[in-house]
Amino acid sequence: MRQAKVTEPVWSALLAVHEGEARAPSPDWSAEERAGWDLYAPLAAGAGVGPYFFAQVGQSLDGRVATVSGDASAVSGHEGLCHLHRCRALADAVVIGVRTALADNPRLTVRHARGRDPVRVVLDPRGRLPDTTGLLNDASAHRIIMQSVPRRRPEGVEVITLPARDHVMNPHAIREALLARGLRRVLVEGGGATIAHFLEAGLLDRLHIGVAPLIIGAGPSGLRTAPIERLSQALRPRTSVYGLDTDVIFDCALDASGRASRSTWPTTAEETPAAIAASRA
């Protein structure tokens, strides 16, 4: 495991890369600073590079992200929280499921790192999120709701309507809708069900699992993928491990060999917004 440190010069260089500048790690940096660069450089690559979807989970030693009663306020340590905010700052958009929006009321802004707030996207197929929810009413960033029901949303919130199968919208269609709006670097922030849909559809390029030294015992788990019967079916991503103060980040590269192949979603254009619009024309 490499200890990672994100100092101001390292973060400035990463933000510059995110803005499209060519930068390389400095030979003057310490080993910890170089590890900080290596952890975030794949997320930072900017304009001119292909789409990049990544997810991050902050969980306990026993794989929980909250208590049974829903307390998720301090699972990660301080550096783990900074890590989440760095991931937000390196994303054009951040995607969450409606259960996270309802349980945590997250702001989805960048406060524990320097950087711009990403576009906020909530997946709410049944239209359950109240109009009064904070992240919908803070206009400091563009807000998008993806839903399957005809429900009006507060002024300024963009609504994208997608069909759902058993209340689940095709992750490929979600991805295409984001790309069509120029949102190419996307953080899937949670919760476990939302990340699992993208992972099982083979749409994640990278997954960061942050483990903090606490044991919760019961509660929602960080990843809620479908059960498998044999370990030979398990995903085995190429993984690098970084220490961030009290937390440990497992940096999983989900290239072609590490991607899930269990998806039953069509990857053709048949359920994409463009195809739906064409079929209605």
Residues that bind ligand NAP (CB under 6 A): 57-58, 65-66, 70, 72, 75, 96-100, 103-104, 123, 125-126, 128, 164, 167-169, 171, 189-194, 197, 220, 224
Closest separation in Å from C-beta 17 to ligand NAP: 25
Nearest CA to 190 among 216, 213, 147, 224?
224
Q: How far is CA 84 from CA 54, 55, 87, 109, 121, in A?
A: 12, 10, 5, 10, 16
Q: Which residue is nearest to ligand NAP (CB)?
A: 191
Question: Could you tell me the smallest distance in angstroms from the CB atom of residue 74 to ligand NAP?
Answer: 10
Q: Are 52 and 206 in contact (CB under 8 A)?
A: yes
We find the least distance from the C-beta atom of residue 32 to ligand NAP, in angstroms, to be 24
Helix ranges (H only) for the chain are 8-18, 31-44, 78-89, 98-104, 134-137, 171-180, 192-200, 273-280
State the residue for tokens 């903090």.
212
- Residue closer to ligand NAP by CB (options 47, 68) is 68
Residue showing tokens 């440990």: 248
Q: What is the CB-side half-sphere exposure of residue 115 using CA atoms within 13 A?
A: 32
Nearest one of 268, 252, 266, 259 to 200, comparing CA atoms: 259
Nearer CB in complex with ligand NAP: 237/263: 263
- In angstroms, give the least distance from the CB of 56 to ligand NAP: 7
Tokens of 123: 């997946």
Shortest approach of ligand NAP to residue 214 CB, angstroms? 12
Q: Which is nearer to ligand NAP, 35 or 196 (CB)?
A: 196
State residue 184 phi and psi, 5-degree precision.
-105, -25
Least Å distance between CB 196 and ligand NAP?
8
Q: Which of residues 45 and 103 has its CB atom nearest to ligand NAP in the complex?
A: 103
| Residue closer to ligand NAP, measured from CB, 37 or 60 | 60
What whole-number distance in Å separates Cα of residue 181 and Cα of residue 148? 19
In the bound state with ligand NAP, the residue whose beta carbon lies nearer, of 18 and 83, is 83
